[in-house]
Amino acid sequence: MPPKYKYYFFKKYRARGELARLVFVAAGVEYEDVGPEADDQDWAALKPTVPAGKLPVLEVDGRMFAESVVISRYLAREFGLDGRNNYEKLLTDTIVDKIIQVREMIGDVYHINDPVKKAEAEKKLVEEQLPAALSFLEKFVEKNKSSGGFLVGDKLTWADLAVFDILEHVVKQNPDILAKYPKLAANFKLVPTLPRVSEYLKSRPATDV
């Protein structure tokens, strides 16, 4: 009997909770998205019941597990989206780890309250940090000779989903940022055309971030 999955993350946000949803969707595996609907009263009631008092949380047959990347990596392994062999798994992990760094960079800027310091940090992010990360990924994919438009091998992996997830935000804020990175740009256009992903993107609720 297949496991029963429940996934806990704020329904009004994507942020670091969206990758696991994309993995479920791309794999065609059913799960229950149990919220909470908001980050106030709903979250206050749920918080004491989840590991470490934070989200996202994955529940597998009644047992709860925390940490967003750990959850997504586990699901990718379970559903065969982490690479065909250990070499491909190494490649997907490298790409996802770089995406984690990018998300942390963006988060650091987001949490700056001083407007002058925030503007300086945003400038550095857009002009230095993001280009460095995107250049690394572009060269990494070129070197590994991936085919079919996917980042690793010739089929979808969670690396493609992780890159798409973060680039949704990055491109929205900086529409021309992928101009110098043709492989990443092509991959970013490919992922949302995949049937399961496409249907999910059309139906998912609008969110703040």
CATH number at residue 139: 1.20.1050.10
In a domain, residue 202? The reply is: no
pTM score: 0.93
Supply the pLDDT for residue 209.
Answer: 66
Quick one: 184 and 96 in the same domain? yes
Supply the pLDDT for residue 13.
Answer: 86
d(CA 47, CA 38): 12
- CATH classification at residue 49: 3.40.30.10
Beta bridge partners of 57: 8, 66
Query: Which two three-digit tokens encode residue 147?
Result: 């085919």
In a domain, residue 175? The reply is: yes
Contact at 8 Å (CB) between 18 and 165? Answer: yes
Quick one: 105 and 164 in the same domain? yes
Supply the pLDDT for residue 11.
Answer: 84
Listed as ranges, residues in the chain with pLDDT below 70 are 146-147, 208-209
Quick one: 57 and 74 in the same domain? yes
- Domain with 146 in it: 86-193
Supply the pLDDT for residue 4.
Answer: 94
In a domain, residue 206? The reply is: no
